[in-house]
Amino acid sequence: MKIYPLTYGLLAVLFCGLVDANELAYITNEKDNTVSIIDIETLSVINTIDVGSRPRGIILSKNQRVAYLCASESDTVQILDLDTLEIIGELPSGEDPETIALHPNGKVIYTANEDDALLTIIDIPSRSVIAQVDVGVEPEGLAVSSNGEMVVVTSETTNMVHWITTKDNQNFANTLVDSRPRAAQFSPDGQWLWVSSEIGGTVSLIEVATQKIVTKFQFVLNGIHRDRIQPVGLLLDNNQQYLYVALGPANHVAIIDIKQRKVVDYLLVGRRVWQMAFNHDQTMLITTNGVSGDVSVIDLVKHRVVKSIKVGRYPWGVAIANNSQLGALND
């Protein structure tokens, strides 16, 4: 493991207690096989650590003491201790895990195995596979309902959303969406599901009760060909006021007003924007920009990009912890 030294100035600020170091962003860099750690207060990279090969999806445990990250080319989900910054174990993910989702009980992880057309369901305490469910070709996006009763998987080549009950792990319905669906997110009340379609260039709003599409959103940017507008990451705020959509090589984040059901703004970010995460009070949004090798920081009060932070090569996933400790500063 390599941990890059902190600057004297930042150390001095931290130890003087002038900076709240409890909120940190963890960025997976898929070409460097590293995770960059950003202090949200200072908006600077404070550590970089080595992880498995081609890290992509990353989520936090329920108590935010560990992170689970997909080491895609290592064919495993690694467990990263956020206090010591050490890999403390692995979960049996199957081949080529790319994205992961956590059940609300904090004990079960779902991972999509793109090469095998499978959803793998993993019990965290025993570090064992509970079941594998056949889904469409190239599964990618995952979402678990807030009540924990349902998980959905998107399949990029089959162009479907697969609906699976968590009680018996049965695929009970499929919804056809536009080409190459990527991310999915349930609304907090469980009534709606949002799904991005990368090549189709749309975001679908699906009624959960019927598994039917009720609205599709398209995106138009002046001077950018529609083929470059490729929705990938999705993020819905807790108040269900706005949905934020990463538009890939269009290098923008679109903002959808939920009540009006229309796109109300576009924000220019770095090149090839992939994923996004809120800080704890949702006043800030962090985006990972693969080609430019940076993250963009968006002020959500003003809906304005306020900073770009250089990280590793091809940043992909992001998770933000609000009660972790820096840990291992002097290792």
Query: Span 137-152, mean pLDDT?
Result: 96
Q: What's the pLDDT band for 95 if we cut at 50, 70, 90? A: confident
Which phi and psi angles does 73 have, rounded to 5°? -85, -5
Asked if the model's pLDDT at residue 22 lies above 90, the reply is no
Q: What's the pLDDT band for 115 if we cut at 50, 70, 90? A: confident
Asked if the model's pLDDT at residue 328 lies above 70, the reply is no
Geometric angle at alpha carbon 143, from 137 and 144, rounded to 5°: 125
Angstrom distance (rounded) from CA 72 to CA 70: 5
Question: What pLDDT is recorded for position 19?
Answer: 35
Asked if the model's pLDDT at residue 11 lies above 90, the reply is no
Q: What's the pLDDT band for 3 if we cut at 50, 70, 90? A: very low
Question: What pLDDT is recorded for position 323?
Answer: 57
Task: Work out the mean pLDDT of the chain and round it to a whole number.
Answer: 91
High-pLDDT (> 90) share of the chain, %: 88
Cα 81 off chain centre by: 19
Question: What pLDDT is recorded for position 96?
Answer: 87
Contacts 24+ apart (CB under 8 A), 70-75: 70/97, 70/98, 70/99, 70/100, 70/111, 70/317, 71/97, 72/30, 72/96, 72/97, 72/98
Question: What pLDDT is recorded for position 114?
Answer: 87
Asked if the model's pLDDT at residue 23 lies above 80, the reply is yes
The pTM of the full predicted model, rounded to 2 decimals, is 0.90
Q: What's the pLDDT band for 35 if we cut at 50, 70, 90? A: very high
Torsion over CA: 38, 42, 44, 45 (sign): negative
Question: What pLDDT is recorded for position 8?
Answer: 35
pLDDT by residue (tens digit) across 239-272?
999 999 999 999 999 999 999 999 999 999 999 9
Burial label, 92 (beta-carbon count in 10 A; 0-12, 13-18, 19+): middle
Query: Span 123-133, mean pLDDT?
Result: 96
pLDDT by residue (tens digit) across 212-238?
999 999 999 999 999 999 999 999 999
Q: What's the pLDDT band for 132 if we cut at 50, 70, 90? A: very high
Question: What pLDDT is recorded for position 275?
Answer: 98
Asked if the model's pLDDT at residue 330 lies above 60, the reply is no
CA-based nearest residue to 32, from 60, 4, 8: 4
Asked if the model's pLDDT at residue 154 lies above 80, the reply is yes
CA-based nearest residue to 48, from 32, 69, 64, 61: 32
147-171 in b/e burial notation, b at 16+ Cβ within 10 A? eeebbbbbbbebbbbbbbebeeeeb
Q: Picking from 10-14, 83-87, 146-150, 315-319, which range would have the lowest pLDDT averaged per residue?
A: 10-14
CA-based nearest residue to 37, from 67, 62, 61, 9: 67
High-pLDDT (> 70) share of the chain, %: 91
